[in-house]
Amino acid sequence: MMVTTDEKPWRRPFSGYHQPRDLREELALTHTDPGTPCGELMRRFWQPIALASELGERPLALTILGEKLVLFRDQGGRLGLFHRHCAHRGTSLEWGIPMARGLRCCYHGWAYDIDGRCLETPGEPPHSQLKGSVVQGAYPVREVDKLIFAYMGPPDEQPEMPVWDTQTQPDSEVDPFSIVFDCNWLQTHENGIDPIHAVFLHARPGRDTFGDVFYTLPRLDIVETPYGACVQTTRRAGDHIWTRMVDLALPNVAHIPVPWVDANQEQFYTHAGVLRWCVPIDNTHNLFIGWRYFNERNDPKKIGDPARCGKNMVDFPGQERERSYRERQIEPGDYEAQVGQGPIAVHDAENLGTTDKGVITLRRLLRRAVHELADGNLVDRPQPRSADGSIGTQSHDTVVLAPPGSYDGSDDDHVAAVAEITRDMAIETANLAHAKRAEIFEQKVRGVLATIGDV
């Protein structure tokens, strides 16, 4: 019997047989090996590559952006990052011997300074000039607050190490963390600009991970910034309206408020509790790495736990890898949702909706950035704007008293008005240092709210 087909048989019920099978990932964004479009973009920025606590007396073998590397600290305390294989005969320098100055290969004793210059070729005759013509591949390395960063791009384009305003929060305990996600970097990074997933993945009935207020589907707004984009969610919480902004910077940085908030208590500009990067290890693994910030403003009830931050752990739920399969099926988290998309998500196989506008915006900005770089334009890096020399962001939580009926319009309009006011004031105060920003932000927000009926 002849089966009648329509124009798009894969949209009919039980159409598994007809689903497209030749779709490909978006290589320009997902692949970060040397010479790839996004790999070249990533290499124009300082990237965190390890916790300082991971590096002991011996070299540490690692892979970053598809390159096999070795990280070490010489006996003089200086950090070095080399291509893993010795320029002489290719032996892995993970077996190298740290010296007072640089690293010595275990195989034939060739020694290199931290910039890759060959210091010794001890098996050669005394008059040999060979060492002057040999350079081991090397990258600049810095340690900041117990994280080790590397710059892997063109030496003549090396930027200053950025300082974000998240890093300048007063009276904060700062704890680094690092977790390997077994999927492409973009899947993990996109999670930060997709707040709607929290409603379904983290706040389903019966869970208490993020609090009941997360169960309400929020208003969603996206605003582009000079260096990326912010996603804002705003929702009613009884007599209050709670708004939150997550700030993402190209290519792979995010500033995120803590994943719990008392939405029944007024607060103004409670800043980010997380500054993290999604650093590609290779095309199918990435390093979820950054800092947790603990202070009275972002966690007055001390829900966070610094003791649960470190290698393979962080103190907010959903990131764990070392759970049983049954545990993960019963209560999947961010790790399962991201890794569950496959090693590299295929964008052509997706069906995006209105709640995906953050993901759509991020991909568009990344495409534009890689295309501009491919066209020979210099990468536009974030510039310090704050009075203290840091790069101002918009990441925060704000909860305002705004009872239903106190606004001349629908409650949806009320929520939208609060969203716009707090968003505008966050952007307007981005050049202020922490010592003044929350205070001035509150004054400005209260002043505008008073004109629309909220006190």
Distance CA 415, CA 368 (A): 32
CA dihedral defined by 133, 138, 139, 140, rounded to 10 degrees?
-70
Distance CA 404, CA 383 (A): 41
The closest alpha carbon to 219, from 449, 419, 454, 448, belongs to 419
pLDDT for position 1: 41
Cα 21 to its chain centre, rounded Å, is 31
pLDDT band at 274 (very low <50, low <70, confident <90, very high): very high
Q: Which helix (H) or strand (E) holds 361?
A: helix 357-374
CATH number corresponding to 165-451: 3.90.380.10
* Mean pLDDT over the full length of the chain: 91
Distance CA 207, CA 210 (A): 8
Distance CA 345, CA 186 (A): 9
**Phi and psi dihedrals of 26, rounded to 5?**
-85, 85
pLDDT for position 216: 83
Q: Is pLDDT of 345 > 60?
A: yes
Q: Is pLDDT of 327 > 70?
A: yes
Using DSSP's 3-state secondary structure scheme, residue 274 falls into: strand
Distance CA 309, CA 63 (A): 22
**Phi and psi dihedrals of 165, rounded to 5?**
-65, -25
Q: Is the dihedral of CA 297, 298, 304, 308 positive or negative?
A: negative
46-157 under CATH 2.102.10.10, yes or no? yes
DSSP per residue over 82-145, as a string?
EESB-TTT--BGGG-EE-SSSEE-TTT--EE-TTSBEEE-TTS-TT--GGGG-B--EE-EEEET
pLDDT band at 3 (very low <50, low <70, confident <90, very high): very low
DSSP per residue over 141-199, as a string?
EEEETTEEEE--S-GGGPPPPP-BGGGG-TT-EEEEEEEEESS-HHHHHHGGG-TTHII
Least confident of 207-211, 373-377, 406-410: 207-211
Distance CA 414, CA 397 (A): 18
pLDDT for position 70: 98
Q: How far apart are the first and last CA of the chain?
A: 72
**Hey, where are the domains in the chain?**
46-157, 165-451
User: Could you report the per-residue pLDDT of 20-38, keeping only the tens digit for each?
Assistant: 777 788 999 999 999 999 9
Percent of the chain with pLDDT over 70: 95
Distance CA 194, CA 160 (A): 30
- 414 token code pair: 């009320």
Mean pLDDT of all residues in 39-55: 97
pLDDT band at 196 (very low <50, low <70, confident <90, very high): confident
Whole-number Cα distances in Å, 218 to 207, 248, 258, 405 = 18, 19, 17, 19
Q: Is pLDDT of 41 > 80?
A: yes
Count of CB atoms situated within 10 Å of the CB of 64: 24
User: Could you report the per-residue pLDDT of 135-169, keeping only the tens digit for each?
Assistant: 999 999 999 999 999 999 999 999 999 999 999 99
- Burial tier of 215 (Cβ tally within 10 Å: 0-12, 13-18, 19+): middle
Contact between 15 and 246 under an 8 Å Cβ cutoff? The reply is no
Place of tokens 């991971």: 54
